[in-house]
Amino acid sequence: MSAASKPVCRRGSVAAGLFSVYEVIAMALGLGMLALLCLAWVPVALPLSVLLPRKSGRRLGRWMISAGFRFYLWFLSVFCYFRFEVSELDQLRHDEPLIVVANHPSLLDAVILLSRFPNMVCVMKAALAKNVLFGAGARLARYICNDLPLELVLRAREELSDGGQLLLFPEGTRTTRLPVNPCSGSTGLISSRTGVPVQTLLIEYNAPYLGKDCPLFRPPKLPLSVEIRVGRRFPPPQDVLAFTEELEHYFRDALTEPAASVTPSEKSAVAMAPVATASRK
């Protein structure tokens, strides 16, 4: 190595070291802002969940979560070098009722999706509903816990009959076996009982972050890019088991071959597909 090239290498090493420090700072800023937003909403959401009528509280709770998460994504974009390509979701904003399902590679998935849908009810783990950061807001928004299957189906049918959008992660947890874990039958069961179609979304990250096997305080590899594409829309199934298998195969194929996963004709079908009315039986 020549003497002239040594300063260049040293400058490169210094720049890489400084960028690694920035990745740690970005992680701290991102997680800190999320905790701050959630904690700031707790003392407001707790009394409102008791004082407001159910429908008014639900509407306000969901709108505030959507607005708060939308601000949070802006914060990540401006200060933390995150990039979100989610504009395709806007075409689904007014499709109600609708069951929205997606693969689940990261804790950020629900945050991103809820930021784009102001009337979306999320099916979440019971442990999250009891979490000090998320519990009060989830109760005000009338989110649904997934610990009791019968109650899950009944609550989902009620929400869809009111014209809401239901968010489900069919894997039941974050992905551990790429491209997708085995899917549960809850999506097909709810769709068949309500007569509401199932809209798939395909979530992809350029690097792992906040995954099931990723420590909470592991800094992201920046820039972190997240792309969400609108996938295939399935009609309400007649055979739940066959539908569940088909759904899992669709996710597996679409995420393995992203360039060919959604054809122009499929996108057109999504845009033009009528949304079924939820059964009130």
Measured on CA atoms in the order 19, 25, 31, 33, is the torsion positive or negative?
Answer: negative
pTM value?
Answer: 0.87
Using CA atoms, how far apart are residues 224 and 212, in angstroms rounded to an integer? 17
Pairing of strands 224-234, 198-205: antiparallel
Q: Is the Cβ–Cβ distance between 120 and 165 less than 8 Å?
A: yes
Q: What is the DSSP letter of 49?
A: H
Give the contacts of 138 (CB within 8 A, at least 6 positions apart): 122, 124, 128, 129
Using CA atoms, how far apart are residues 176 and 209, in angstroms rounded to an integer? 13
What is the full per-residue pLDDT of the chain (281 aa) written as tens digits?
555 455 556 667 888 889 999 999 999 999 999 999 999 999 999 999 999 999 999 999 999 999 999 999 999 999 999 999 999 999 998 888 999 999 999 999 999 999 999 999 999 988 888 888 999 999 999 999 988 888 999 999 999 999 889 999 999 999 999 999 999 999 999 999 999 999 999 999 999 999 998 899 999 999 999 999 999 999 999 999 999 999 999 999 999 975 444 554 455 445 444 444 444 44
Using CA atoms, how far apart are residues 120 and 97, in angstroms rounded to an integer? 10
